[in-house]
Amino acid sequence: MLLLALGLGGALAAETRLVLEGEVPADGLDHFFLDVEVPQGTVEIEVRHADGSEADILDWGLDDPAGFRGWGGGNAEPAVVGEQAASRSYLAGPLPAGTWRVVVGKAKIRSSPATYAVEVLLRDSPTLAADAEQGPYTPVTLEEGPRWYAGDLHVHSEHSGDARPGLDELADFARGRGLDFVVLSDHNTTSQLAVMSAAQARHPSLLFVPGVEFTTYDGHAGAFGATDWVDHRIGQPGVTIEAAAQAFADQGAPFILNHPNLELGELCIGCAWDHDLDPALIGGIEVVTGGYEPVGKLFFADNVALWMALEAAGARVAPVGGSDDHQAGQDAGPTASPIGSPTTLLYAESLQVGALQRALQAGQTVVKLQGPDDPMISLWSASGTWGGPDDEALVARVEGDLGGTLRWFVDGEEAGAVEVSEDPFTHRFFVDAPPAGARVRLQLDVDGAPRVLTGTFYLEDAPAADVSAKEGCGGCAQGPMAALSPALLLALLARRRR
């Protein structure tokens, strides 16, 4: 590595320029680091970066002596970090003297040797104005009371390197579709937290849920409600996929496999899930990413098969859906995935992050595969005990006048179907001599294609639920409810570089 420093004297000049150039290490690891010595008195750091070939793709981030300061991934613009402001994907705050590291990810290496060129500018006065939006994230409760809350579990803001919109634009679009919450799933950063509370105050009818898309070169996962950064640089000392999933679990943030079968090669680097992870650490799975039409259906069957395999192995995995929207609904192309397509509903006691997390962990979800206007389906037990002559009865309800076929599955296999003949439609069916651990789920097909999924109803959990208590809440249980895991997975669209 070549390092040049241009400045005046031993103290920090008004601007000191460091040039770092060299070859990408061919060591088999996904990331490497370039050390930068930052002297006392530095109030702003700018990192300009480039790979040396159109054939290669490098990702970029920054660590300070204490750890994480940002991850821009494929951000084309330089990274600027100051005491009172920072560019997107990076964290503002004090700049401690000592050894900082430019983090470089090997997203795609085709040249031999591959090269990099980095300029680091150290300043004693800022170029960025103080950001009045910056502040600590504080959770809020927007609504009290149990009901189904509609949201999108996979939305990107400008803090993702491959996304454009700010939080205000996201909120306006989401509320326009009738959603109650969105999960901010920016790639490997927590920088969005610093502006969430200010945006939340401007949008009191939509809950911003913190999160991250934990993005590696062997798979992506969502962490619902995560607020602490977790190291994604798998292969570095002590950095494993097991440790990462456990770190999210320790925060109470369910670990959700995103678009696990989206194998598109270099069109979407690392999008398909290829990690070996204990199923017990997996809290959810996207069975379709983006609406079922036009793209989600291409991966739907494989995603459902993976979901069923995880459950057969003993894991309790809530199927969910997310748009993977990067443009606040403004992408009108044929593969557009606007916020809310699909929509995931969580039955929670309030519109608050902790309540939504608990609902997801309990599997209390329903996924509308195309969007918020799809029908609603729900499932409950007709009895609170099992083993009697009439105790195996389950009750299914469909609301939304689209007709179609209601199908039910037991232990992953289709066990029956009935045509939906009225709105609302209620159907009582039986599971023969349910063994301990029998799993039941519902699916509504419209015009021969899946339209709505529930998650899994575990018979051994099933307490009594008074049918009359469900009137007026869309078929949802207002009292005790069996673990109801909704099903949905959305297949990410290959219109972006990664």
pLDDT in tens, 175-231: 999 999 999 999 999 999 999 999 999 999 999 999 999 999 999 999 999 999 999
Confidence band of 392 (pLDDT split at 50, 70, 90): low
Cβ-contact 104, 58 below 8 angstroms? yes
pLDDT of 89 reads: 97
Cβ-contact 381, 464 below 8 angstroms? yes
CA-CA-CA-CA dihedral for 170, 175, 178, 183, to nearest 10:
40
Residue 474 clears pLDDT 50, i.e. is over it = no
Tokens representing 153 are: 């579990």
Length of the chain equals 498
The residues, ordered by sequence, that sit 6+ positions from 35 with a Cβ below 8 Å of its Cβ are: 99, 100, 101
∠ CA 462-361-162 to the nearest 5 degrees?
A: 145
Residue 161 clears pLDDT 70, i.e. is over it = yes
Angle between the N-to-C axes of helices 193-202 and 167-176, in degrees from 0 to 180, rounded to the nearest 10: 50
Domain architecture of the chain: domains with CATH: 2-123 (2.60.120.380), 141-470 (3.20.20.140)
CA-CA-CA-CA dihedral for 261, 264, 269, 275, to nearest 10:
30
For range 82-105, the mean pLDDT: 97
* AA letter at 69: R
Alpha-carbon distance of 394 to 402, in angstroms, equals: 22
Rounded to the nearest 5 percent, the helix, strand and coil shares of the chain are 15, 35, 50
For residue 245, the SS3 value is: helix
Confidence band of 390 (pLDDT split at 50, 70, 90): very low
In the chain, pLDDT over 70 holds for what percent of residues? 86
The residues, ordered by sequence, that sit 6+ positions from 340 with a Cβ below 8 Å of its Cβ are: 150, 152, 174, 177, 178, 179, 323, 371, 372
Q: Which residues pair with 211 in a beta bridge?
A: 224
CA-CA-CA-CA dihedral for 306, 336, 232, 304, to nearest 10:
-10
Distance between the two ends of the chain, CA-based, in angstroms? 28
Cβ-contact 225, 247 below 8 angstroms? no
- C-alpha closest to that of 226 among 257, 185, 259, 260: 185
∠ CA 190-273-442 to the nearest 5 degrees?
A: 95
Stretch among 121-130, 249-258, 366-375, 435-444 having the lowest mean pLDDT: 435-444
For range 51-72, the mean pLDDT: 94
Cβ-contact 102, 36 below 8 angstroms? yes
Residue with tokens 């454009």, as numbered in its chain? 164
Q: Rounded mean pLDDT of the chain?
A: 88
pLDDT of 243 reads: 98
CA-CA-CA-CA dihedral for 229, 231, 233, 235, to nearest 10:
-170
State the CB neighbour count (10 A cutoff) for residue 111: 15
Ramachandran quadrant class, 197 (left: phi over 0; alpha: psi -120 to 50; beta: rest): alpha
Residue 7 clears pLDDT 50, i.e. is over it = no
Alpha-carbon distance of 483 to 295, in angstroms, equals: 30
For residue 183, the SS3 value is: strand
Confidence band of 293 (pLDDT split at 50, 70, 90): very high
* AA letter at 432: D
State the CB neighbour count (10 A cutoff) for residue 206: 23
Element (H, E) at 6: strand 2-6
pTM of the model: 0.89
- C-alpha closest to that of 441 among 408, 464, 474: 408
pLDDT of 467 reads: 31
Ramachandran quadrant class, 59 (left: phi over 0; alpha: psi -120 to 50; beta: rest): beta
What is the side-by-side order of every strand in the sheet holding 98-108?
A: 31-38, 98-108, 57-64, 67-73
For range 130-148, the mean pLDDT: 96
> If you write DSSP's letter for every residue of 69-90 in order, what string do you get?
EEEEET--SPEEEESS-B-TTB
Ramachandran quadrant class, 4 (left: phi over 0; alpha: psi -120 to 50; beta: rest): beta
For range 393-422, the mean pLDDT: 93
Confidence band of 3 (pLDDT split at 50, 70, 90): low
- C-alpha closest to that of 85 among 127, 24, 39: 127
Cβ-contact 156, 89 below 8 angstroms? no
pLDDT in tens, 429-454: 988 755 566 899 999 999 999 999 99
Cβ-contact 70, 81 below 8 angstroms? yes
* AA letter at 188: N
Confidence band of 13 (pLDDT split at 50, 70, 90): low
